[in-house]
């Protein structure tokens, strides 16, 4: 008898249990047990404030849906990835193999994301990307278990070239941190600006996370373009904005960028940020009841003003809570869970959005100007913009 029981496979054991009426407790245990959710985010370095905003947003989104996932209580796990790509795989493995998370939420930096992506694709663990825009994650390397709630790196800048051209910019310089986020943002800018009729006269860059901008600013001054367009975010963006003004360029050569340039830092950047024009899928000044209600609730809860990163985290929390509710907490039924995640509409402070086939938001991109500590919306630069999802084959 003992020997026979030992050689039973798990499914045979479950079938046996079913025939004796014992299946019910097993199912109940699977659906009501605690669920393990891991954050892999930067809590130190250039993008530290972005990581904190995202975690706050996720928690708030889930709290608003009752604080559980499909009825299950949550055990949280947390790793500081330092925006360090060389530690990406190892950190993701810690969450997946050591902590055995059911869901991995991360991260901010595109290079680190590629490490997470390798691990979750192999392990088949649900991966929610609350920021990093690296194209591959929802293009050639897309996967059924990977969902992004933010943007692809070229999505905001695909809407940047035309408004610049329309404002009279004909010759532009591009400057960025040289890694996937900046290089892919450039693709969007180059394509939209040249299509509108403009010329990119020079591409400038420096390695992440360096912030020694002086030589590059001197070069910009001597090139005398009509405008500069850029990708910088977090603490590096604050320094770039301030250095740009201190070099005397602010009033001579207008500064444009993907909207990360002015997110969560207008107070820190001060008057140097006035007049910067950007494109992004969110703006703090969006005049909708939904955005106002979110901003008040977030500021009350965390004593911090929300930014695009907080919104992306919040939407990640909503997506996860809604998806888990749809499958009544049965995260083991992956096919049903992924289907539920694919088909949700997210009632976001940025405006309602849904997932593309490749699992990236289809969303409006706003044109904004930084004025008196606010990103003021000027208009919609692109309506319901979907990433191409080029090369994505699910399954």
> Minimum Å distance from CB 2 to ligand PHB?
55
Point out which residues pair with 365 in neighbouring strands.
382
Q: How far is the CB of 92 from ligand PHB (least distance, A)?
A: 16
Of the pair 54, 96, the CB lying nearest ligand PHB is at 54
| CA angle (290 as vertex; 158, 294 as ends), nearest 5 | 95
- Judged by beta carbon, residue 198 or residue 349, the one nearer ligand PHB is 349
Closer by beta carbon to ligand PHB, 127 or else 131: 131
- Nearer of residues 185 and 340 to ligand PHB, judged by Cβ: 185
* C-beta closer to ligand PHB: residue 59 or 177: 177
Instruction: For 121, list phi and psi in degrees, rounded to 5.
Output: -65, -40
The sign of the dihedral angle between the CA atoms of 21, 27, 28, 30 is positive
Residues 275/257, Cβ–Cβ less than 8 Å: no
What's the distance, Cα to Cα, between the start and end of the chain in Å?
42
* Least gap, CB of 287 to ligand PHB (angstroms): 24
| Distinct helix (H) and strand (E) counts, the chain | 14, 14
Pick 211 or 223: Cβ nearer ligand PHB = 211
Give yes or no for a cis peptide into 209 (omega within 30° of 0).
yes
Nearer CB in complex with ligand PHB: 50/367 = 50
Which CB sits closer to ligand PHB, 152 or 344?
152
Alpha helices in the chain (DSSP H): 2-7, 10-19, 23-32, 48-64, 88-93, 110-123, 161-166, 180-196, 214-223, 234-246, 266-269, 289-302, 308-326, 334-343
| Nearer to ligand PHB (CB atom), residue 47 or residue 256 | 47
Least separation, in Å, of the C-beta of 47 and ligand PHB? 6
Nearer to ligand PHB, 69 or 310 (CB): 310
C-alpha torsion angle, residues 328, 333, 335, 338 (rounded to 10): 50
The least distance separating ligand PHB from the CB of residue 133, rounded to whole angstroms, comes to: 4
Backbone angles phi, psi at 140, to 5 degrees: -60, -30
Give 95 or 108: the residue with its C-beta nearer to ligand PHB. 108
Using an 8 Å Cβ cutoff, are 392 and 142 in contact?
yes
CB neighbourhood size of 386 (10 A): 17
Name the token pair of 160. Answer: 């940047």
Q: How far is the CB of 337 from ligand PHB (least distance, A)?
A: 26
| Shortest separation between residue 233's beta carbon and ligand PHB, angstroms | 3
Question: What's the closest the beta carbon of residue 137 comes to ligand PHB, in angstroms?
Answer: 10
**Do residues 259 and 280 lie in contact, with contact meaning Cβ atoms separated by under 8 Å?**
yes
Q: Which residues bind ligand PHB (CB under 6 A)?
A: 47, 108-110, 131-134, 153, 181, 233, 260
The token pair at 191 is: 């394509």
Least distance from C-beta 246 to ligand PHB, angstroms?
23
Q: For the CB of residue 150, give the shortest distance to ligand PHB in the complex, in Å.
A: 8
b/e map of 40-64 (b: 16 or more CB within 10 Å)? bbbbebbbbbbbbbbbbbbbbbbee
DSSP letter string over 208-265? TT----HHHHHHHHHH--SEEEEE--HHHHHHHHHHHHHTT-TTTS-EEEEGGGGSS-
Q: How far is the CB of 258 from ligand PHB (least distance, A)?
A: 8
């Amino acid at each position: 008898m003992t020997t026979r029981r030992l050689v039973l496979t798990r499914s045979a054991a479950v079938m046996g249990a079913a025939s004796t009426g014992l299946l019910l407790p097993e199912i109940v245990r699977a659906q009501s047990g605690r669920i393990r959710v891991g954050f892999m985010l930067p809590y130190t370095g250039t993008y530290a404030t972005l990581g904190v905003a995202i975690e706050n947003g996720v928690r708030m989104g889930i709290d608003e849906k009752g604080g559980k996932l499909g009825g299950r209580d949550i055990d949280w796990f947390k790793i500081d990835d330092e925006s360090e790509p060389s530690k990406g795989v190892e950190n993701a493995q810690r969450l997946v193999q050591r902590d055995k998370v059911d869901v991995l939420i991360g991260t901010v930096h595109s290079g680190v994301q590629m490490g997470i992506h390798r691990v979750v694709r192999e392990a088949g663990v649900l991966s929610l990307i609350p920021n990093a825009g690296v194209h591959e994650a929802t293009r050639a390397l897309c996967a059924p278990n990977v969902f992004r709630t933010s943007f692809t790196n070229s999505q905001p800048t695909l809407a940047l070239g035309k408004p610049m051209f329309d404002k009279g910019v004909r010759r532009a310089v591009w400057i960025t941190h040289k890694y996937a986020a900046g290089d892919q943002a450039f693709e969007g800018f180059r394509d939209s600006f040249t299509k509108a009729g403009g010329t990119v006269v020079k591409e400038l860059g420096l390695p992440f996370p360096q912030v020694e901008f002086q030589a590059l600013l001197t070069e910009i001054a001597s090139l005398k373009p009509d405008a500069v367009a850029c990708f910088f975010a977090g603490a590096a963006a604050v320094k770039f904005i301030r250095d740009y003004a201190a070099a005397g360029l602010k009033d001579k050569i207008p500064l444009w960028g993907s909207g990360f340039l002015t997110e969560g830092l207008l107070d820190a950047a001060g008057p140097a940020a006035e007049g910067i024009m950007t494109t992004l899928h969110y703006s703090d000044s969006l005049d909708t009841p939904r955005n106002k209600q979110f901003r008040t609730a977030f500021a009350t809860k965390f004593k911090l003003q929300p930014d695009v990163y907080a919104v992306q985290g919040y939407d990640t929390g909503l997506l996860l809570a809604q998806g888990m509710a749809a499958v009544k907490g049965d995260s083991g039924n992956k096919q049903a869970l992924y289907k539920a995640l694919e088909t949700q509409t997210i009632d976001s402070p940025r405006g309602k959005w849904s997932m593309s086939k490749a699992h990236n938001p289809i969303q409006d991109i706003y044109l904004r100007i930084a004025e008196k500590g606010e990103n003021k919306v000027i208009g919609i630069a692109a309506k319901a913009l979907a990433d191409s999802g080029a090369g994505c084959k699910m399954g």
